[in-house]
A and B are shown apart, each in its own frame.
Chain A
Amino acid sequence: MTAKALDVGLFVTCLVDLMRPVVGFAAVKLLEDAGCAVSVPPGQTCCGQPAYNSGDRGSARRIARQVIAACEGIEHVVVPSGSCAGMIKVHYPELFADEPETAARAEALARRTHELVSFLAGALEGAGIDAEYRGAVTYHDACSGLRELAIKEQPRALLRRVRGLELKESREAETCCGFGGTFCVKYPDISESIVDLKVDDAIASGADTLLSGDLGCLLNIAGRLKRRASPMRVRHVAEVLAGMTDGPAIAEGRGG
């Protein structure tokens, strides 16, 4: 551990907060094991993507302002989602292009914000990762993380340090899963056809578990796998890296 612990604030994201808190705790564990002092800024709710991607810039700006205020004074803001991190890093500064003062604060926040896996692999150099996972895993490169934040090698580098884990690449790892936020409910037929390709491809990889860094995609993929009665398990990559895989995988129950 370094002399002074890094000050990290977790922006947990609305989906993790509401749907799968274990991902948040996995993130906290990973950060703490790597020597960070983790806080959770209380004023956070959602990053504003639903409004932003629906054309409601006014609401997106109001929510962004709230996030900027909530994260003020925190040295590093870490987000367990490529698309929410991308929202803060790439899109917040754009949102305030006509408001120099807020834009400057947005840019400062953008610089201090990191997607979880790239922060663990980058600034923290993979420190403290100590986990075991018995299984063959395939990794889905969620679009925003891949194309906005260049997250590609980082999760794989970290997964290679997990004992017992075998990584099986899918041919179409970089292809969209068809989630797209509200896209999947506005155009369910098209989304179904896209997620089917993703699911076929993941199954063809021979893996028994699919991991990714974005809960939206994971809910979509897991939901489709279950509808097709596939036994493939789906988890957020942080759960595996933190060794927190005792509970049920996504869309799996306790009651069998």
Chain B
Amino acid sequence: MQITTPSFKDNARRALGDSDLRRALDNMKTGFVGKRLLAVERLPEFDALRDDARDIKEHVLENLDAYLERFEARVKEQGGQVHWCRDADEARRVMLEICRDAGARTVTKSKSMIGEEIAINEHLEANGIEPVETDLGEYIIQLRREPPSHIIAPAIHLSKEQVADAFRQKHGQFPGDRPLDEPRALVDEARAVLRQRYFDADVGITGANMLVAETGSVVIVTNEGNADLTMTLPPVHIVLASIEKVVPTLEDAATILRVLARSATGQEMSVYTTFCTGPRRSGDADGPEAFHVVLLDNGRSALLGGEFHDILRCIRCGACLNHCPVYSAIGGHAYGWVYPGPMGAVLTPGLIGLEQAADLPNATTFCGKCEEVCPMRIPLPKMMRYWRDREFEARLTPTLSRLGLAAWTFLALRPALYRVATGLVIGILGALGRNRGRFRRLPLAGGWTAARDLPAPQGRTFMRLWAQRRRGRP
């Protein structure tokens, strides 16, 4: 996947001008946000569950190596294999090898953000293997050859008309004049196309919402059941998961599931919650003959114990995106890589480097809504500020901002000088703006006045007026 994060500002500008996108994002807000609120109100112990969920993940992160090894041992006991991969390259290599060994020509895939992170589809295609996305949203964006714009709703940026267009273009097997106005018709058509692809696939690749150390199970939730078909029909199942997905017990998994769907879509549970453990055993009705877990680090272990440690608790529910005023304005593509919104603003610089992602931790108002809704109580604004600290230290902050800041600090630390200097400027601006009370334009204030008038100051500073009052002069 091509990284366009460095051109965040241009991406955002383009997104703001896209009326289809704006409409789609409006729908998202009324959908996800409203439903989450209702779900939370129906569960009085929701906040207590959030604490439990946070504590579980925190405990895991402190003992990550032990739980991962326990998970590996359980998977092996059940006849599965675990592949430890340091980075995207290694993971791609391992997965291609497994596919080649299976003689794979097509693989089905259920939605996986880690798959996006390592760009597995591109890699398989380049090596003559066709990946077929089976999550409806993922399938649509695969047809359109674009990246997901949301971590749980990859095609949220599209209208149903745009989806219908894509289907007409790519599904040549159906009559050109078929009606595709209703969402139902779109779903039925996708289902008809995908049905055969499930049976044809040689390998099924899924992500994982959690890995359970106690049993070696993989937990996957979907609303379409596509992951179940992806993992049970082909002879080989590859689970692609990052290392922080592990939890100690089934009980812990259940606790996290209780906050996950509520935070994500406002559902009490996702429609399908599947625990799969190892390959098919004798006597099993179905299931793959081979079961592989690809465990990816890709920069995560370097975040452990540091300033960005807490982001490793993230369960990818998407609540912080849904509630973010910036994400709601520009959508996910503007962020330029796999993870958008507040969690992306924290995670992306850690994974692709701060230089490339320098805008992301700055493009937030620090409104704090993300932290308020995060089921894992991740202090997202605080970590965005940590990134800003690093940018400042590394002199990535734009020169003009640095100079302005230095001048302001210089004055702020010298109250007497500050009074004189600010008094002067404020006096002039106050006089100039006295009649209208505002400025439409002002030198050096272009950033402000592009979209709004600049209210004029009242003319004299409080400190000066206060001093006069103390001396008994009006």
Q: In the bound complex, do residue B367 and residue A251 qualify as a contact, i.e. CB atoms below 8 Å apart?
A: no
Chain B residue nearest to A148 in the complex (CB): B368
Chain A residue nearest to B434 in the complex (CB): A254
Segment from B196-204, B274-282, B337-345, B407-415 that makes contact with A: B407-415
Q: In the bound complex, do residue A181 and residue B329 qualify as a contact, i.e. CB atoms below 8 Å apart?
A: no
* Residues of chain A from 8 to 32 with CB closer than 8 A to chain B in the complex: 12, 14, 16-22, 24-25
Segment from A46-54, A101-109, A112-120, A159-167 that makes contact with B: A46-54
Q: Are A180 and B415 CB-contacts (below 8 A) given A51-B405, A223-B453, A250-B455? A: no
| Residue in A46, A183, A192, A247 whose beta carbon sits within 8 Å of that of B408 in the complex | A46
**B223 interfacial by beta-carbon distance below 8 Å:** no
**B457 interfacial by beta-carbon distance below 8 Å:** yes
Q: In the bound complex, do residue A193 and residue B408 qualify as a contact, i.e. CB atoms below 8 Å apart?
A: no
Q: In the bound complex, do residue A223 and residue B454 qualify as a contact, i.e. CB atoms below 8 Å apart?
A: yes
**A40 interfacial by beta-carbon distance below 8 Å:** yes
1/0 per residue A210-247: CB within 8 Å of B? 00000000011011101100000000000000000001
**Count the A residues whose beta carbon is within 8 Å of the partner chain — how many?**
71
1/0 per residue B44-58: CB within 8 Å of A? 000000000000000
1/0 per residue A179-193: CB within 8 Å of B? 111111111111111
Q: In the bound complex, do residue A17 and residue B463 qualify as a contact, i.e. CB atoms below 8 Å apart?
A: yes
Q: Are A21 and B461 CB-contacts (below 8 A) given A45-B418, A251-B453? A: yes
The CA of A59 and the CA of B413, in the complex, are separated in Å by 9
Residue among B366, B401, B448, B455 facing the most chain A CB atoms (10 A cut-off): B455
| Residue in A21, A192, A247 whose beta carbon sits within 8 Å of that of B451 in the complex | A192
| Residue in B329, B372, B397, B462 whose beta carbon sits within 8 Å of that of A55 in the complex | B397
**Count the B residues whose beta carbon is within 8 Å of the partner chain — how many?**
64
Q: In the bound complex, do residue A227 and residue B372 qualify as a contact, i.e. CB atoms below 8 Å apart?
A: no
Q: B401 — which chain A residues lie within 8 A by C-beta?
A: 54, 182, 186
1/0 per residue A182-210: CB within 8 Å of B? 11111111111111010000000000000
Q: In the bound complex, do residue A18 and residue B16 qualify as a contact, i.e. CB atoms below 8 Å apart?
A: no
Q: In the bound complex, do residue B325 and residue A63 qualify as a contact, i.e. CB atoms below 8 Å apart?
A: no
**B76 interfacial by beta-carbon distance below 8 Å:** no
Q: A135 — which chain B residues lie within 8 A by C-beta?
A: none
**A253 interfacial by beta-carbon distance below 8 Å:** yes
Q: In the bound complex, do residue B415 and residue A55 qualify as a contact, i.e. CB atoms below 8 Å apart?
A: no
**A129 interfacial by beta-carbon distance below 8 Å:** no
* Residues of chain B from 179 to 216 with CB closer than 8 A to chain A in the complex: none
Q: Are A223 and B363 CB-contacts (below 8 A) given A185-B447, A193-B16? A: no
The CA of A143 and the CA of B440, in the complex, are separated in Å by 27
Shortest CB-to-CB span from A222 to chain B, Å, is 5
Q: B473 — which chain A residues lie within 8 A by C-beta?
A: none
In the assembled complex, 15 residue pairs joining A and B whose CB atoms fall closer than 8 Å, in A order, are A21-B462, A45-B418, A52-B385, A54-B388, A178-B325, A191-B365, A193-B16, A194-B329, A226-B453, A227-B451, A250-B455, A251-B438, A251-B455, A253-B437, A255-B436
Having A19-B426, A255-B435, one finds 10 other A-B pairs with CB under 8 Å, namely A17-B463, A45-B413, A45-B418, A147-B368, A147-B369, A189-B13, A189-B450, A222-B455, A253-B433, A254-B435
Question: Which B residues are closer than 8 A to A by beta carbons?
Answer: 9, 12-13, 16, 325-326, 329-330, 362-369, 371-372, 385, 387-393, 397, 401, 405-406, 408-409, 411-413, 415, 418, 422, 426, 433-438, 440, 445, 447-448, 450-458, 460-463, 465-466
